[in-house]
Chains A and B, each alone.
Chain A
């Protein structure tokens, strides 16, 4: 393991020699507790060994003088297409949406391209971890939790199967402002028929999956494996949460009822109208992944700040939530989504947690990630100020204690063309 780390370290030109270091003199924002002014973080073999006001430097360890700077946990983007899509308008570069409505067996992890340009761009702003999610049909496949560092997806992997992704059926009448003629808007009865069928199919699929599992447990002779239903077993056993995407009130309500009926662990994703159902969500203890706050309201009559105030609304209701950009190119703007929520009423600590510790908790990896605490992996960033402020520069990023290069295509093009005579 150490040999591998050393080889890797040599191959990365700007990386530190190893994964042990001491960052000292900075304001340490642990997130789990109070900030430590003039504090230090000791990293040994990639893990946080010590956090405090005065930490002794072990012999020979690299020292990072960070006076006047700040240390934060690396940021976690809880919903992205990172590595799964490169250029939006070019379909060949996208692996986000597969054909077919029920594909629980698909795994995003193996389709993540570790050479995606979006990765270095995002991590240059302190994003160390993302959830990459598939998006097609109803049961889209399994989202992956990955580091933004690694030669292969295997090396990037934190959880190869972080959640099953379910896009809850909606009644789609289409149309809307300036929809093109080709998108013929369906009438409500037509759309409802399609929706009813999809919902029935979804229920039927779960039913069949349960029967499959039952049959498998009984292990009859000649049992035939079904790859799709195999993938459903951890869901049915409550081992794998289902991230259900439900945007509008009706879909959210139905999704909550569905999860209860099917007895599955649920995470609610992109619920833009969650505000109206906050107490319901809290009562069922369902965690939430909110989409971008930096967006326009959903309805014409919504207050102009509807998207900005939603996180605060959920926070007041006691709902646990994390933020996701649901993008790849805009993952680097994750902290500014948190900032907007804070500007419009979310307590700052909650804003920070939404992109660090809460995210780790929702994805079930908080024992090892999400805050600067002894025993956790050293996913850290050093900044010259508040990372929620746009103007702040990220000076250094560490993943598992190794310093990660902040070089990326944008920086390279900038430097290159700056030099043009």
Chain B
């Protein structure tokens, strides 16, 4: 049906005995929702956090892990991802031009048109590049080979979306492990992922839309159509006799089901643009990318829009032309982008980090460190990797902090999360322990 359903993941007991509770004793515990506990114990049972505190009893049958010298964090959440969808791993990410992060595979322009291919879209009514009904929850598999690297870097959770097309589909909050795919899903659907593919012809063979203006017109029209669709269906269902039935339109259904929409924007003027669009279509919007957010913090605050902050800080491409003139604008963006999180925090804008198809998930923390160096407090940084993401997607009652009753997604490290030498000891996902995979050296590493 049309209202969102929250699915709680249940840790189903394996055939055989119930696993015993687990306790991490006398560790430093960063709860995020409360103060840091210098020496505390966390007890995990049945996949949930049973208790956390400085003076709590460890159950007699608990498997105890001595936490001396270790730090416990909530499991890290990648706030915008396609981890868990195996097909997405195969698609190379499109070069991030200006926040346009679509992975639309571009059809190679052929000399003779393929007769079996659908004719190019003639307008929004043809619903081009639209799979808004598609749910990540239906696509995730625990066998996605990227999950291991993600867990090894300290991530327990990702908010995963399909990412192909303009209306790519609906995301799900998933845990990065599970015996079966269904067990991974924490909440679904949590939002609609929108992308603005750059260049023309992404409607397929030169069809609609062929420009930014076309995309915006499409979003507006779909919004109108979806409302109309819903009204029409309601009226028809009340009194079908003698009435003409409305067309089935799953694109509209997908739009209506989405509790929020994710809109891409890198530059301040793009942020301004998408916020105005969101206000027009009266949908709760979350801005993703936001590298120039340092210039738009007040704007975001006024609009009440949360931000998904890309950790792929803009830098000159490694193989770029060294003599290519670069504009002041570009240089400034690269210089100041890491200061955006601090600016957002100062303005009171809610934001969460996402790894943005970074090559190695463990580089994400290095990227966060740049934000800390540029003024973000460590507390806010941790929050942006954990509870903030949960709050943005409405699942803060289940994950994002270390509190009794929440899902046992934990990250245990050898020290402060953002220190270079800190290592991930293990993560718990739904109470199940995963140790980091052995480091494979990068392929073409040369001796320095």
Contact = CB atoms under 8 A, between A and B. Distances in A.
Does A touch B (CB under 8 Å) in the complex?
yes
Interface of A: 171, 173, 180-182, 187-189, 191-192, 248-250, 299-301
B222 to A, nearest CB: 24
Taking each of B319, B321, B324, B327, which has the highest tally of chain A beta carbons within 10 Å of its own beta carbon? Answer: B321
A173 B327 contact: no
Contacts of A301: 325, 327-328
A181 B205 CA distance: 11
Interface string B79-91: 0000000000000
Interface in B189-226: 199-201
B109 interface: yes
B200 A181 contact: yes
A173 B325 CA distance: 13
Contacts of B199: 180-181
Contact of B319 (A171, A180, A189, A300): A189
B106 A188 contact: no
A173 B324 contact: yes
B109 A188 contact: no
A181 B328 CA distance: 26
A189 B200 CA distance: 25
Interface of B: 106, 109, 199-201, 317, 319-321, 323-325, 327-329
27 contacts: A171-B321, A173-B321, A180-B199, A180-B200, A181-B106, A181-B199, A181-B200, A181-B201, A182-B109, A187-B319, A188-B317, A188-B320, A188-B321, A188-B324, A189-B319, A191-B321, A192-B321, A248-B323, A249-B323, A250-B323, A299-B325, A299-B327, A300-B325, A300-B327, A300-B328, A301-B325, A301-B327
A183 to B, nearest CB: 10
A192 B199 CA distance: 24
Given A300-B329, A301-B328, A181 B323 contact: no
B307 to A, nearest CB: 27
Given A189-B319, A299-B325, A299-B327, 20 more contacts: A173-B321, A180-B199, A180-B200, A181-B106, A181-B109, A181-B200, A187-B319, A188-B317, A188-B319, A188-B320, A188-B321, A188-B324, A192-B321, A249-B323, A250-B323, A300-B327, A300-B328, A300-B329, A301-B325, A301-B328
Contacts of B329: 300
Contacts of A182: 109
A416 to B, nearest CB: 42
Contacts of B317: 188
A248 B321 CA distance: 13
Contacts of B201: 181
B390 to A, nearest CB: 39
Contacts of A192: 321
A138 B106 CA distance: 33
Contacts of B321: 171, 173, 188, 191-192
A173 B106 CA distance: 20
A188 B199 CA distance: 20
Nearest to B317: A188
A333 B324 CA distance: 32
Contacts of A188: 317, 319-321, 324
A196 to B, nearest CB: 13
Contacts of A187: 319
Contacts of B324: 173, 188
A363 B325 CA distance: 34
Contacts of A249: 323
B318 to A, nearest CB: 10
Nearest to A192: B321
B423 to A, nearest CB: 36
A189 B327 CA distance: 21
A171 B319 CA distance: 13
A408 to B, nearest CB: 40
Contacts of B109: 181-182
The 6 lowest CB-CB distance pairs between A and B, nearest first, are A300-B327, A181-B199, A188-B321, A299-B325, A181-B201, A250-B323
A305 to B, nearest CB: 18
Contacts of B200: 180-181
A249 B322 CA distance: 13
B78 to A, nearest CB: 29
A277 to B, nearest CB: 14
A171 B321 CA distance: 9
B205 to A, nearest CB: 11
A238 B329 CA distance: 46
Nearest to A189: B319
Nearest to B318: A188
Nearest to A171: B321
A300 to B, nearest CB: 4
B209 to A, nearest CB: 13
A248 B324 CA distance: 10
A192 B319 CA distance: 11
Contacts of B319: 187-189
A299 B326 CA distance: 9
A44 to B, nearest CB: 55
B379 to A, nearest CB: 39
A168 to B, nearest CB: 14
Nearest to A300: B327
A299 B330 CA distance: 13
Nearest to A179: B199
Contacts of A191: 321
Contacts of A189: 319
Nearest to B95: A185
A122 to B, nearest CB: 34
B202 to A, nearest CB: 8
A187 B325 CA distance: 16
A269 B436 CA distance: 62
Contacts of B325: 299-301
B110 to A, nearest CB: 12
A255 to B, nearest CB: 15
Nearest to B201: A181
B326 to A, nearest CB: 9
Most B CB within 10 A of own CB, among A173, A182, A188, A299: A188
Contacts of B323: 248-250
A180 B206 CA distance: 11
A355 B357 CA distance: 57
Nearest to B323: A250
A24 to B, nearest CB: 55
Nearest to B200: A181
B1 to A, nearest CB: 40
Contacts of A171: 321
B332 to A, nearest CB: 11
Nearest to B331: A301
Nearest to B329: A300
A56 to B, nearest CB: 61
A250 B324 CA distance: 10
A187 B109 CA distance: 20
A261 B237 CA distance: 85
A247 B281 CA distance: 48
Tell which of B109, B201, B324, B329 has the most Cβ of chain A within 10 Å: B324
B191 to A, nearest CB: 29
A300 B317 CA distance: 19
Q: Give the interface centre of A180, A181, A189 by most chain B CB atoms within 10 Å.
A: A181
A186 to B, nearest CB: 10
B328 to A, nearest CB: 5
Contacts of A173: 321, 324
A173 B109 CA distance: 20
B296 to A, nearest CB: 21
Nearest to B198: A181
Contacts of A181: 106, 109, 199-201
